Amino acid sequence: MTKLILVEGLPGSGKTTTAVFIANWLQQQGRETAVFLEGNLDHPADFESVACLDAREYASLLARFPAEASFVQSQVIQDGDDHFFHYRALQQNYPDLAEALITSLAQYEIYELPVPKYQRLVRQRWQRFAEAAATGNPVYIFECCFLQNPLTMLLGRHDESVSAAESFVLELAAAVRGLRPCLIYLHPGAVRTTLTKIAGERPSAWLDFVIAYHTQQGHGKAQGWQGFDGLVQFYEMRQAIELALLPQLPFPGVLVQHSSQAANQSQIADFLARIFPA
């Protein structure tokens, strides 16, 4: 039985709405679901606002914050030489925690680490998730963490080669193959039109951040892409890579072309009915 559904697409393509629709559809069929949307701090396969320090970095942290040392030691998740902190969750759960400590932990954010360490940690995380999910009942529904996050990190942040980024995504696909996953890819149409629409719907700070992230570092900077036009160029590139990856995945997927919400959901429901026969 399929235990993992991946929902992917560019910003504004309707990923969140689709993930919720899938969960509702499965629940109507009597299936147990576990939905993890973008930004979920408890994600079982991806890292969301998680820091990873090695033994030396962890010792240095304790030395810099002696007053908080006991608390830090109570919150660390140690795995060999890796010391993990869910630093944004800590900030939410302990609002009086020293801001300097949160800032120090954020410097070791996994999505900001050097590529080899990032890849090792993410690969291990997906493998362990697959092992755990294989013995449970829920159908997991993940939004954007399978294609978007690795490609954004490797290309947008670090300007890795396209082939290296594709290879890493295929490694993640192999890690979860035993869950018999499927992928639903939302294609909203012209990238510029989609981004223009969503820019008018979201706070200006969101647009400023994504423009800076994708044009002032990594591949965008190397290409000399600037401003909103540069953001469009990056997302056009990313979408082309994602579409090229779909037929290479070792599990089924469906490409949902831009249409009305009702038509899109009807296509998705037909696909799900083949994956989850009555």
pLDDT at 2: 96
pLDDT at 154: 98
The domain 4-46+114-275 is placed in CATH, from the list 3.40.50.300, 3.30.830.10, 3.30.930.10, 1.10.10.1100, at 3.40.50.300
CA 172 – CA 119 distance, rounded (Å): 10
Sheet holding 253-257: strands in order across? Answer: 33-36, 139-143, 4-9, 182-187, 253-257
pLDDT at 211: 98
H/E stretch holding 58: helix 55-64
The residue among 74, 159, 62, 171 whose CA lies nearest residue 121 is: 171
pLDDT at 258: 84
pLDDT at 45: 98
Would you list the DSSP string of 247-258?
GGSSS-EEEEES
Domain boundaries, the chain: 4-46+114-275, 51-108
pLDDT at 278: 79
The residue among 35, 32, 30 whose CA lies nearest residue 6 is: 35
Backbone torsions φ then ψ of 163, nearest 5 degrees: -65, -40
The residue among 18, 14, 22, 88 whose CA lies nearest residue 50 is: 88
CA 278 – CA 183 distance, rounded (Å): 20
CA 78 – CA 17 distance, rounded (Å): 36
CA 218 – CA 118 distance, rounded (Å): 15
- pLDDT tens column, 4-34: 999 999 999 999 999 999 999 999 999 999 9
Which stretches in the chain have pLDDT values below 50?
none
CA 255 – CA 252 distance, rounded (Å): 10
